[in-house]
């Protein structure tokens, strides 16, 4: 009876079973449970010794990794599958590595030898797979170790491998920029490769490298130009044209060579992508100047075709090209204003944004009203469900401000209309951050510069100050509206209403900057309202002003303890002034016998605000003011004051002496004071006796030093009234006498001293003749627009022609830079910072290091030669001594021969000479060996 052997499956589930199981789950909880079970099975499978089971486990983990499940714990198992000899398993291992390996993966250091082995494989498929995997997992160490191997692969016999090797070199350059120097000649050779795919890959790599440092690739211009004129591959032509757009600004002579072939492509090609790149190369490469009218006309005419197509992408790139051409040829672009205005109503938000950027350059005095109207309609949602992005609303408002303020309001002919537009923008942009301040600055600028519309601007500002909705939804503009209402309070129709609205605002409702402006504006409006001569001063008028003054005092008292120093300082200053005004009003008789207001209201306060008119000042005026001779701006006015505990004790002792002196003068507590003083003096005297004479002299010197420092600080303090020399000396004498009188008795030392009253310093306060307050001239509401509107220019210092007004082009530039900074970095952008400053012409750091090492080796070799030479001379000197000795021996033997013996000994010197020659040759060999 035969027994059946049950065959165990290699793995429980294949990838097909895993996918089918996930799809069969009915809810999210069941799916999570199934995936956890599958991951648990994969943990067992990747530990199997069977490579098929291990490979299937890695494949399923790679699939689950796309759902967001971590598989970094299986990195070593993935490396094992990558090292398999079977192509199907190796491919799965590389796929999992490309998905899960990162720069911080530990097992990458183990993959170097495996990648070298695969790159040296005889199977071109293994080589290509290794190159593809390396492009995704390359790290600085892998790039450094495998650069030479990949350089060899660029000369592989298979074009498929050469193309991949050229492309992966870009990833190598990003991680190891030094490889660019050694690979550049080989990269240049690939531009002449017989296979068009290899040439296209090379052009692609050079184009990407030239974005960071185009100067390195100027020597390739002849070969690239040859490809441009001979190739018919549109994709490669696009890359070459992009590359020339980067090279043309560096080498202006390229313009004369590139214009004919690029113009020919523009006129003959039907590919829209190639057409756009040719136009973009002319514009971005600096080939389109203001004199090239014919070339610009051709480009603008070809771009109009983009707006006739239904493809939205073509409209977008067409607007991008128009935005570049309009800088040099605005009139040509303005001829296509109809298609640009149509793009402002496009449902695609990105197209509308590009159209809004472009429309700024197309306005004039005739089209400004219509363009602003259409832009303001962009801020209003067309339906309740439509929600406009905040950045788009901010961009539209900024473009409106740029158009109207361009060239100091050159296109605005009706400033009442412009002020109304600003007020409408405040209401439309409710809840948009950071835009209320820009609208407020523009409203303030119009009120200061254009006197003819100042009364209208003040009225609009007053309405915003009293509008509670503005305070809640757009409070940033109130800072500038309050400033206008205070600075030009003469134009207010109902200043008491404005004051009532301002003083009812509770602390912390507005920002600190706005509160500081309100505190400064309230006294200005109060001065205009209380000091006007149009309303007679009566008892009822006095009571009304008194009540208003007390309300303002109560308002300022809330801010007198503010944490913001500007708010606190302004509130305290005006608080004291208004208290004096309230006191002056109360001291007036209750009847109508005195019909004149207090001088503080009618003269003092108006003189603080109405003597000079505030004019716009150039931002560069301060820089033109020369520094006076002898003024050191880096020198400190007052040295930092350092207080010590001993100095505080001295101040307390001085205050105690002053109090006791006052008690002595008034005749109170004389005996007790004298007794306590005597006791203190005796105790101090006994203590000083114990300390010794040396410590007493040191204390006196220390006291005198601190006294001198106090006098110096008082002299440098602008709020301290200094004493005259005569009075100061008498005061010091009186203090000394008073301190000594405490020991002697209750006699007043001031009785016998005559005080010189004339020596007391008196500050003379002069109030200049105050002009009568200017009364407001009632203007007609329906006044006709003057033919010429006077716009105040900015005051400057020095050359009058150097006055620079606020150019909205600069403002627009600053705003565009702020917008560019606010854009988020794309996740698809490659980090190529290592190639930005890498110059092929500069000496290589490694080469410099090698040269330094070679120089050091040469110095060592030279020292060794000198040492060997000295040793050789020493050996030769020794050899000469040996020779002399042997010659003496030879003479003796010759004497023996004369005695009748054979001639054999006569041959001995020859043998000895041979031995000496061998010894000398051996010494020379040793010297050469030392040199080597």
pLDDT tens, residue by residue, 157-191: 999 999 999 999 999 999 998 898 889 999 999 99
- What's the mean pLDDT in 92-120? 89
Structure tokens at 369: 């009203």
Strand partners, 795: 617
Report whether pLDDT(584) > 70: yes
Lowest mean pLDDT among 9-18, 661-670, 862-871: 661-670
Tokens 């082009």 locate to 809
What does the pLDDT read at residue 292?
86
Report whether pLDDT(385) > 90: no
Give the tens place of pLDDT for each residue, 571-582.
Answer: 999 999 999 999
What does the pLDDT read at residue 78?
92
The residue among 782 and 89 whose pLDDT is bigger is 89
Report whether pLDDT(393) > 80: yes
CB 411 within 8 A of CB 363: yes
Report whether pLDDT(784) > 70: no
One DSSP character per residue, 893-919 reads HHHHHHTT--SGGGGHHHHHHHHHHHH
CB 245 within 8 A of CB 284: yes
What does the pLDDT read at residue 725?
45
What does the pLDDT read at residue 834?
60
Q: Name the percent of the chain lying above pLDDT 70.
A: 71
User: 358-376 as b/e, with b when 16 or more CB fall inside 10 Å?
Assistant: bbbbbbeeebbbebbeebb
Report whether pLDDT(209) > 80: yes
User: 675-693 as b/e, with b when 16 or more CB fall inside 10 Å?
Assistant: eebeeeeeeeeeeeeeeee
Report whether pLDDT(830) > 70: no
- What's the mean pLDDT in 283-310? 89
Strand partners, 617: 795
The residue among 463 and 924 whose pLDDT is bigger is 463
What does the pLDDT read at residue 9?
46
What does the pLDDT read at residue 847?
56
Q: Give the whole-angstrom CA distance, residue 796 versus residue 909.
A: 110
Q: What is the 3-state secondary structure (H, E, C) of 282-332?
A: HHHCCCCCCCCHHHHHHHHHHHHHHHHCCCHHHHHHHHHHHHHHCCCCHHH
Tokens 């605000």 locate to 609
CB 519 within 8 A of CB 571: yes
Structure tokens at 685: 């005297």
What does the pLDDT read at residue 833?
60
- What's the mean pLDDT in 279-283? 92
What does the pLDDT read at residue 557?
92
Report whether pLDDT(715) > 70: no
What does the pLDDT read at residue 665?
57
Lowest mean pLDDT among 203-207, 317-321, 588-592, 718-722: 718-722
Average pLDDT, the chain: 77
- What's the mean pLDDT in 349-366? 88
Measured in whole angstroms, how far is the alpha carbon of residue 772 from the centre of its chain?
52
The residue among 101 and 700 whose pLDDT is bigger is 101
Lowest mean pLDDT among 234-243, 465-474, 695-704, 761-770: 761-770
One DSSP character per residue, 798-813 reads S-GGG-----HHHHHH
Q: Most confidently modeled of 217-221, 432-436, 678-682?
A: 217-221
Taking residue 327's Cβ as centre, other Cβ atoms within 10 Å add up to: 12
- What's the mean pLDDT in 472-496? 91
Reported confidence tier of residue 851, pLDDT bands at 50, 70, 90? low
Reported confidence tier of residue 627, pLDDT bands at 50, 70, 90? confident
Report whether pLDDT(646) > 60: no
Report whether pLDDT(728) > 60: no
Report whether pLDDT(553) > 90: yes
What does the pLDDT read at residue 506?
85
Lowest mean pLDDT among 30-34, 628-632, 841-845: 841-845
Q: Most confidently modeled of 14-18, 429-433, 598-602, 862-866?
A: 14-18
What does the pLDDT read at residue 127?
93
Tokens 């404005």 locate to 498
Structure tokens at 221: 């211009």
Tokens 């590359």 locate to 243
Tokens 């809330």 locate to 558
What does the pLDDT read at residue 856?
65
- What's the mean pLDDT in 120-145? 92
Alpha helices for 564-669 (secondary structure H):
565-586, 599, 605-609, 621-624, 645-666
One DSSP character per residue, 126-174 reads HHHHHHHHHHHH--HHHHHHHHHHHHHHTT-SSHHHHHHHHHHHHHHHH
- What's the mean pLDDT in 259-287? 91
Report whether pLDDT(351) > 70: yes
Structure tokens at 623: 């820089």
The residue among 833 and 296 whose pLDDT is bigger is 296
Reported confidence tier of residue 80, pLDDT bands at 50, 70, 90? very high
Return the percent helix, strand and coil in the chain, to nearest 5: 70, 0, 30
Structure tokens at 332: 């040509």
The residue among 620 and 502 whose pLDDT is bigger is 502
What does the pLDDT read at residue 596?
82
Strand partners, 450: 791
Lowest mean pLDDT among 483-497, 588-602, 718-732: 718-732
Burial of 528 (0-12, 13-18, 19+ CB in 10 A): buried
Reported confidence tier of residue 387, pLDDT bands at 50, 70, 90? confident
Reported confidence tier of residue 345, pLDDT bands at 50, 70, 90? confident
Angle (nearest 5°) at CA 490 between 779 and 556: 150
Taking residue 780's Cβ as centre, other Cβ atoms within 10 Å add up to: 6
Lowest mean pLDDT among 146-155, 390-399, 427-436, 786-795: 786-795
Q: How many CA atoms lie within 13 A of 367 on its CB side?
A: 13
- Which of the 8 DSSP states describes residue 617? B
Identify which of 693, 871, 834, 704 has the alpha carbon closest to the alpha carbon of residue 213: 834
Taking residue 96's Cβ as centre, other Cβ atoms within 10 Å add up to: 28
Reported confidence tier of residue 465, pLDDT bands at 50, 70, 90? very high
CB 240 within 8 A of CB 224: yes
Report whether pLDDT(745) > 60: no
What does the pLDDT read at residue 820?
47
Report whether pLDDT(380) > 50: yes
What does the pLDDT read at residue 898?
39
Give the tens place of pLDDT for each residue, 871-928.
Answer: 777 777 665 544 444 444 444 334 433 334 344 444 444 444 444 545 555 555 554 4
pTM above 0.85, yes or no: no
- Which of the 8 DSSP states describes residue 641? P
Report whether pLDDT(232) > 70: yes
What does the pLDDT read at residue 193?
92
- What's the mean pLDDT in 228-254? 90
What does the pLDDT read at residue 281?
92
Backbone angles phi, psi at 227, to 5 degrees: -65, -40
Where does residue 46 fall: left (phi above 0), alpha (psi -120 to 50 degrees), or beta otherwise? alpha
What does the pLDDT read at residue 909?
44
The residue among 866 and 444 whose pLDDT is bigger is 444
Report whether pLDDT(720) > 70: no
Q: Give the whole-angstrom CA distance, residue 849 versus residue 248.
A: 35
CB 36 within 8 A of CB 28: no
Tokens 């977008």 locate to 316
- What's the mean pLDDT in 314-338? 90
The residue among 695 and 432 whose pLDDT is bigger is 432
Report whether pLDDT(799) > 60: no
Give the tens place of pLDDT for each residue, 55-79.
Answer: 999 999 999 999 889 998 999 999 9
Q: Specify the 3-state DSSP secondary structure of 336.
A: coil
């Amino acid at each position: 009876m035969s027994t059946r052997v049950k065959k165990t499956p290699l793995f429980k589930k294949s990838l097909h079973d895993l996918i089918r199981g996930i799809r069969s789950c009915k809810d999210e909880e069941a799916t999570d449970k199934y995936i956890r079970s599958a991951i648990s099975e994969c943990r067992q499978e990747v530990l199997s010794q069977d490579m098929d089971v291990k490979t299937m486990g890695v494949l399923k983990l790679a699939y689950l990794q796309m759902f967001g499940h971590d598989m970094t714990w299986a990195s070593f198992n993935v490396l094992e599958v990558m090292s398999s000899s079977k192509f199907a398993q190796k491919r799965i291992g590389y796929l999992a590595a490309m998905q899960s390996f990162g720069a911080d993966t530990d097992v990458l250091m183990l993959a170097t030898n495996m990648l070298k082995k695969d790159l040296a494989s005889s199977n071109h498929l293994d080589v290509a797979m290794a190159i593809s995997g390396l492009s995704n997992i390359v790290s600085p160490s892998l790039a450094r170790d495998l650069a030479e191997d990949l350089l060899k692969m660029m000369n592989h016999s298979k074009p498929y491998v050469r193309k991949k090797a050229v492309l992966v070199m870009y990833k190598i350059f990003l991680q190891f920029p030094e490889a660019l120097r050694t690979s550049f000649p080989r990269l240049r050779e690939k531009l002449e490769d017989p296979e068009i795919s290899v040439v296209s890959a090379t052009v692609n790599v050079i184009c990407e490298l030239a974005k960071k440092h185009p100067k390195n690739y100027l020597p390739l211009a002849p070969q690239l130009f040859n490809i441009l004129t001979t190739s018919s591959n549109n994709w490669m032509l696009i890359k070459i044209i992009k590359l020339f757009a980067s090279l043309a600004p560096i080498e202006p002579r390229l313009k004369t060579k590139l214009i004919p072939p690029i113009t020919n492509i523009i006129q003959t090609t039907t590919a829209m992508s190639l057409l756009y790149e040719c136009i973009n190369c002319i514009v971005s490469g600096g080939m389109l100047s203001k004199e090239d009218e014919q070339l610009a006309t051709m480009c603008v005419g070809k771009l109009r075709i983009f707006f006739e197509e239904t493809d939205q992408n073509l409209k977008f790139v067409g607007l991008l090209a128009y935005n570049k051409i309009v800088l040099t040829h605005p009139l040509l672009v303005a001829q296509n204003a109809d298609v640009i205005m149509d793009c402002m109503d496009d449902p695609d938000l990105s197209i509308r944004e590009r159209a809004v950027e472009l429309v700024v350059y197309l306005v004039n005095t005739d089209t400004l009203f219509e363009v602003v109207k259409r832009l303001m309609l962009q801020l209003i949602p067309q339906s309740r469900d439509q929600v406009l992005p905040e950045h788009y609303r901010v961009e539209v408002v900024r473009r409106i401000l740029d158009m109207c303020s361009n060239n100091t309001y050159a296109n605005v002919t009706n400033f009442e209309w412009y002020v109304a537009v600003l007020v409408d923008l405040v209401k439309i942009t409710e809840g948009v951050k950071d835009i209320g301040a820009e609208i407020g600055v523009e409203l303030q600028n119009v009120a200061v510069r254009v006197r003819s519309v100042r009364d209208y601007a003040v009225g609009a500002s007053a309405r915003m100050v009293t509008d509670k909705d503005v305070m809640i939804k757009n409070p940033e503009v109130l800072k500038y509206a309050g400033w206008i209402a205070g600075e030009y309070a003469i134009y207010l129709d109902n200043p008491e209403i404005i004051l009532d609205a301002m003083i009812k605002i509770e602390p912390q409702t507005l920002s600190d900057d706005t509160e500081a402006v309100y505190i400064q504006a309230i006294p200005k409006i109060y001065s205009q309202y209380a000091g006007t001569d149009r309303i007679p001063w009566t008892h009822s008028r006095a009571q009304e002003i008194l009540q208003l003054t007390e309300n303002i005092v109560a308002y300022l008292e809330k801010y007198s303890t503010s944490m913001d120093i500007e708010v606190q300082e302004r509130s305290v200053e005006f608080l004291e002034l208004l208290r004096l005004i309230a006191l002056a009003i109360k001291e007036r008789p209750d009847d109508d016998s005195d019909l004149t207001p207090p001088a503080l209201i009618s003269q003092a306060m108006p003189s603080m605000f109405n003597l000079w008119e505030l004019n716009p000042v150039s931002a560069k005026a301060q820089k033109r003011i020369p520094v006076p001779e002898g003024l050191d701006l880096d020198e400190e006015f007052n040295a930092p004051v350092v207080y010590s505990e001993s100095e505080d004790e001295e101040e307390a002792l001085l205050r105690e002496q002053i109090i006791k002196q006052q008690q002595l003068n008034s005749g109170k507590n004389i005996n007790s004071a004298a007794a306590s003083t005597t006791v203190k003096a005796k105790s101090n005297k006994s203590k000083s006796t114990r300390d010794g004479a040396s410590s007493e002299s040191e204390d006196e010197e220390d006291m005198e030093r601190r006294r001198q420092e106090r006098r110096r600080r008082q002299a440098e303090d602008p709020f301290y009234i200094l004493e005259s020399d005569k009075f100061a000396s008498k005061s010091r004498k009186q203090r000394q006498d008073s301190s000594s009188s405490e020991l002697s008795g209750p006699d007043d030392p001031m009785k016998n001293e005559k005080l010189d009253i004339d020596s007391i310093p008196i500050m003379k306060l002069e109030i200049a003749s105050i002009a009568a307050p200017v009364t407001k001239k009632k203007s007609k509401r329906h006044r006709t627009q003057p033919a010429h509107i006077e716009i105040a220019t900015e005051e400057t210092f020095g050359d009058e022609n150097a006055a620079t007004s606020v150019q909205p082009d600069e403002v627009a530039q600053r705003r565009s830079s702020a917008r560019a900074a606010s854009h988020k970095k794309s996740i698809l952008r490659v980090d190529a910072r290592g190639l930005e400053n890498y110059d092929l012409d500069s000496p290589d750091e490694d080469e410099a290091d090698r040269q330094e090492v070679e120089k050091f080796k040469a110095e060592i070799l030279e020292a060794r030669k000198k040492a060997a030479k000295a040793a050789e001379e020493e050996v030769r000197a020794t050899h000469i001594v040996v020779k002399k000795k042997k010659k003496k021996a030879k003479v003796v033997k010759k004497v023996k021969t004369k005695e009748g013996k054979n001639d054999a000994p006569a041959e001995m010197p020859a043998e000895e000479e041979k031995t000496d020659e061998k010894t000398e040759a051996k010494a020379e060999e040793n010297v050469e060996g030392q040199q080597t």
